[in-house]
Amino acid sequence: MSNSIKRESPLQYFHGWFNKSSAPESLFNDQIDCDLVIKEAPLSAHLNLRGDAEDSEFCAAVTAVLDVPVPKVPGTYHRNGNTSIYWLGPSEWLILEVGGDGAVIEATLRASLKGHISVVDVSGGQTCINLRGAGAATVLKKSSVYDFEGWNDAQSAYGRVVQTTFAKASAAVSNRPDGSYDLVIRRSFADYLAQWLLDAGGEFGCRIESS
């Protein structure tokens, strides 16, 4: 039965799309040079975690399960292997495990955490996309009011995350050591954002792929 179960990621239908506004005939031509590559990490585990950041038992229990420290500094995230924890608010985090199973992680965390906490599997509702290439920083500037360049000046240039506006939707944007950016976006806005990125990235040559 499970073989016939169809799973669709939010950007499923956009994998393989191209746009280069200087050469319109190349919309579906994978030979063009792209300075903006958008790569979805589809069907990963996304969980929303709530709890008291000052509660060391809570933080220790989370780390024991995920092997990632809970970020307490606003606007930062920690990553270990495929698993990341992003700061979303003073008592709120996003857990993202590439290729993980949200339901399993939820059950494990629930078994380990005590007191007033909340764990919610939101894997179906969002997806993570990576923006890399020479055009990535400019496309962020086109899309969001947040000052991403400001991250370069900061002492900890990497490991930053921000929830902000993105075009007329929103995204949680984080930076990676290789200079690329990860965006966590909502499923229902995925079509709109894919079209936005193809359009805004068109001047650089832009393609969407899946990992």
Partner 1 sequence: MLLIHCPHCQEHRDEEEFSYGGEAHIVRPLEPEALNDQEWGDYLFFRTNSRGIHHEMWYHAIGCRRYFNATRNTVTYEILETYKTGTQPRVTGDSL
Partner 2 sequence: MSRNRLKTHTGAAIDFTFNGRAYQGIAGDTLASALLANGVDVVGRSFKYARPRGIFGHGAEEPNGIIQLGSGAGTIPNLKATQVELYQGLEASSVNGWPSVNFDVMGIIGAFGRLMPPGFYYKTFMYPKKLWMTYEHFIRKAAGLGATPVEADPDRYDKLHQHCDVLVVGAGPTGLVAAREAARTGARVIIADEQSEFGGSLLASKQTIDGLQAPAWVAGLVAELRAYSNVQLLPRSTVFGYYDHNFLTILERCTDHLGLTSEYAVRQRMHRVRATQVVLATGAFERPLVFAHNDIPGVMLASAVSTYVNRYGVAPGNKLVLFTTNDNAYQSALDWHHSGREVVAVIDSRSNPSGAIVAVVKALGIEVIDGHGLIEAQGNKRVKRALIAPINQAGTEVTGAVRPLNCDLIACSGGWSPAVHLSSHTGAKPIWDESIVGFRPGDSKQQERSAGACRGTFDLSGCLAEGARAGADAAKLSGQGEGNIQFSACTVEEYQEQPQQALFLVPHSKSTSRAPSQFVDFQLDVSASAIELAVREGFESVEHVKRYTALGFGTDQGKLGNINGMAILANALDQSIAETGTTIFRPSYTPTTFGAIAGRDVNDLFDPERYTAMHRWHVEKGAEFENVGQWKRPWYFPLKGEALQDAVNREGLAVRKSVGILDATTLGKIDIQGPDAAEFITRIYTNSYLKLAPGKCRYGVMLKEDGMIFDDGVCACLGDNHYLMFTTTGGAAGVLAWLELWQQTEWPELQVYFTSVTDHWTTATVTGPNARKVIAKVCSDIDLSNDAFGFMDWRDGTVAGVKARIFRISFTGELSYEVNVPAHYGRHIWEALIAAGEEFNITPYGTETMHVLRAEKGFIIVGQDTDGSMTPADMNMDWVVGKNKTFSFIGERSLQRSDSLRENRKQLVGLKTLQGKDVLPEGAQVVFDAKQSIPMSMQGHVTSSYYSANLGHSIALAVVKGGHSRLGQIVHCPLADGRTIAAEIVSSVFYDPKGERQHV
Contact positions toward partner 2, by CB under 8 A?
A: 1-2, 4-10, 13, 21-24, 43, 48, 50, 91, 102-103, 116-118, 120-126, 138, 141-142, 144-147, 149-150, 167-169, 186-193, 195-196, 199-200, 203
Residue with tokens 């055009």: 135
Closest alpha carbon to 20 in 205, 210, 208, 211: 205
Q: Which of 102, 133 has the CB closer to partner 2?
A: 102
User: Sign of dihedral through CA atoms 50, 106, 192, 30?
Assistant: positive
* SS3 assignment, position 37: strand
Q: How far apart are CA 91 and CA 60, in angstroms?
A: 15
Q: Which of 81, 150 has the CB closer to partner 2?
A: 150
Give the phi and the psi of residue 158 in degrees, each rounded to 5.
Answer: -105, 165
Q: Which of 35, 92 has the CB closer to partner 1?
A: 92
Q: Which of 22, 80 has the CB closer to partner 2?
A: 22
Residues 65-84 touching partner 1, rule: CB under 8 A, are: 74-75
Residue 96 beta carbon to partner 2: minimum distance, rounded to whole angstroms = 14
Closest alpha carbon to 207 in 9, 10, 7, 11: 11
**Is residue 99 close enough to count as binding partner 1 by CB under 8 A?**
no
Q: At what angle do helices 136-143 and 190-200 cross, to 10 degrees?
A: 120
Contacts to partner 1 by CB under 8 A: 74-75, 88-90, 92, 145-146, 162-165, 170
